[in-house]
Structure 1
Amino acid sequence: MSIAPYVRILGRGPGRARSLDQDEARAAMAIILSGQAAPEAIGALLMLMRMKGETAAELAGFVQAARAQIDVPRLAPALDWPSYAAGRTRGLPWFLLSAKLVAQAGYPVLLHGWNSHQSSHADVRRGCRALGIHIATDQATAQETLAAHGIAYLPLEILSPPMFALLQLRDTFGLRSCINTVVRLLNPFAANAAVQGVFHPVYREIQADASALLGQKNLSVIKGGGGEFERHPSKDIAAFGLRNGAPWQGKAAAQLDEIRRLAPVAPDASDLTALWAGQLKDPFAQAVVEGTTALALETLGVADADSRARALWENRSRSKAA
């Protein structure tokens, strides 16, 4: 099979080209993931979409095709948390502490992503190992870990090797493609609630719109640190998403007056576990964790999420591997 018909739709020229509809996008991605599409055609399709800007329907169709290759567990996690930041200036992944708090509150969290291309201190896998978050080696192990511990990290190359290969094309193109957005929308285990971070603010609304087409019920999307779902405590935060399947927008006021970068010039990787263990006193980092936790809890429908997040932090386990 060929994706040439879909490339033709996108590339006919001014006045004749158009975006793919959701069914066309799903069919095109299904052919790509089957390994039957010519690599030149894949590149043409992805770069044509980049030039015109992807639509919510195109993203939704691509996600549907990707999900069709994933085994969905009978019991879904409470929260889907993608982690695909590509920023070279990323600091420590403080959001992992937030994910742990949400899981300890009784809401199972599936983390999935790819970050090993980042600096060592920002590597999510390294952070997971330090914090005792299990890194799954297959989908079945991820499901078992979620049931036993309430949190797991599933690397994209394990979750979907074909999608991982498409994401790697960024190195070939020298540019991001819509695949960077598609992987954030995957929600592979069909969680009722999801959180997503973006680097470019324009993607907040399009990701929310695509998620609505996919039937997502509850979602919060923010411009986060380096593209992660991670709240900056010194800035007002605008959030976009869904509540009970309906479009939603929210705001969160700055927590601190302190002006500081999320990513220090030379972050110390040990600070992640030191903050969790109570050995490091850093009000700014703590505010990052509590604020991010509150946004995640609010997405889950938790009342008085700010107070709950503070209480969870104060009562967290002091063990690094808890």
Structure 2
Amino acid sequence: MSYAQYIKEIGRGAQGSRDLSPEEARQVYAAMLDGGVPDLELGAILIALRVKGESSDEMLGFLAAIDERMNRLDMPHGRVRPVVLPSYNGARKEANLTPLLALLLQRFGVPVLVHGLIEGYGRVTSAQILRELGHMPVMSAQQAQQTLEEKGLAFLPLTALAPGLHNMLSLRARMGVRNSAHSLVKLLNPFRGEAVLVAPATHPDFITLMRDILVERGQRGLLLRGTEGEPVANPKRRPRLEYVRNGSVDTLFEAEHDSLRGLPNLPEACDAVSTARWTRRVLEKQVPLPKPIANQLACLLFASGYVDDLNQAKAIVAVEATGLLMGGN
């Protein structure tokens, strides 16, 4: 395959470039995932896409290529849908509370698959925190399947979920900048069936792109502005929580914009040990659960089919999940 024609189209800058069609994008990304693109052309394609910005059609084509290569999981037994938490950013300034959300869902019997990176390259990953809490990463999709059935919670590294995509993600160390893979990993749902993907956007423009992709693919998901890119609501101020299903979008909670009435009790530091210690205290009801995370938990109980009504989910969370909530009604 000659890649010059693609580079010529996408590499003419933000104004002169042309978007690839979904099929062109699928073919190009398939070759990239399979390691078939020479380094020079690979770097040129990645930088051209970064400068131009990926279109929804291109992202759909990329995801189609990943779908053909990703290791799949069967739906866990039970009536509720599993929840998928893509965890790739980790904690830099704020504590990573993705493990807390996962453990709260597990407490309600909702199967939870967390996928991401084990090493954070200076950030604190969900894998590191879950390890402190007694949940070790699994090493294969088959082991993830078994762990989900036995424990209801599994952390699957990207190396085991989609090795080719992990290689693309790792190119940041060589190139110095992110590439399309950093966005694509947050849209991965490996289940053969209708799971609930929690899709965390890092900036407003990407929220629109992710929404369009979820709608076009007919996926069920909860879309939000992630906390430092993690799939968990900001514990200090709730982002808008949008529920995507059957090609439609419903806002379950609007974003909070008012001044904070008080700061929630949060981990004293963002390292794995401190975060795990605080997480245990929340689960043991010694520390109140921040209200934005309680709201997100209610949304996921509703989306997973644990309950049929959002108000019922909110009541269950208030009464049964913690007993103490930080904030108002």
TM-score interval, smaller chain: 0.7 to 0.9
Report the CA distance shift for 1:224/1:48 in structure 2 as closer, same or farther (over 3 A). Answer: same
Report the CA distance shift for 1:6/1:262 in structure 2 as closer, same or farther (over 3 A). Answer: farther
Report the CA distance shift for 1:131/1:300 in structure 2 as closer, same or farther (over 3 A). Answer: same
Q: Distance in 2 between matches of 1:118 and 1:286?
A: 28
Residue-by-residue CA offset, 1:206-258 (whole Å, 9 max, x unaligned): 11211222231x21121121111221243242234512232334434659622
Superposition TM-score, scaled by structure 1 size: 0.84
Report the CA distance shift for 1:60/1:52 in structure 2 as closer, same or farther (over 3 A). Answer: same
Query: Is 1:235 the equivalent of 2:243?
Result: no
Name the structure 1 match of 2:21.
21
- Matching of residues 122-141 of structure 1 within 5 Å: 122-141=124-143
Q: Distance in 2 between matches of 1:178 and 1:166?
A: 8
- Residue 157 (structure 1) shift: 1.5
Identity within the alignment, %: 28
Query: Is 1:193 the equivalent of 2:196?
Result: yes
Name the structure 2 match of 1:309.
317
- Residue 89 (structure 1) shift: 2.2
- Secondary structure at the aligned position of 1:181 is classed as helix
Report the CA distance shift for 1:287/1:130 in structure 2 as closer, same or farther (over 3 A). Answer: farther
Name the structure 2 match of 1:175.
177
Name the structure 1 match of 2:6.
6
The worse-fitting range, judged by mean Cα deviation, of 298-307 and 57-66 is 298-307
Amino acid of the residue matched to residue 79 of structure 1? Answer: V
Superposition TM-score, scaled by structure 2 size: 0.83
- Secondary structure at the aligned position of 2:42 is classed as helix
Query: Is 1:291 the equivalent of 2:295?
Result: yes
- Secondary structure at the aligned position of 2:191 is classed as coil
- Residue 23 (structure 1) shift: 1.3
Q: Distance in 2 between matches of 1:5 and 1:182?
A: 24
Q: Distance in 1 between matches of 2:178 and 2:13?
A: 23
- Secondary structure at the aligned position of 2:171 is classed as helix
Q: Distance in 2 between matches of 1:273 and 1:152?
A: 20
Q: Which runs of 5+ in 2 are unaligned?
A: 324-329
Amino acid of the residue matched to residue 117 of structure 1? Answer: G
Name the structure 2 match of 1:33.
33
Residue-by-residue CA offset, 1:58-106 (whole Å, 9 max, x unaligned): 1111111112112323325621111111563242x22212212212322
- Residue 137 (structure 1) shift: 0.6
Query: Is 1:269 the equivalent of 2:277?
Result: no
Q: Distance in 1 between matches of 2:301 and 2:88?
A: 21
Report the CA distance shift for 1:253/1:71 in structure 2 as closer, same or farther (over 3 A). Answer: closer
Correspondence for 1:143 among 142, 145, 159? 145
Tell me how large the CA RMSD over aligned residues is: 2.9
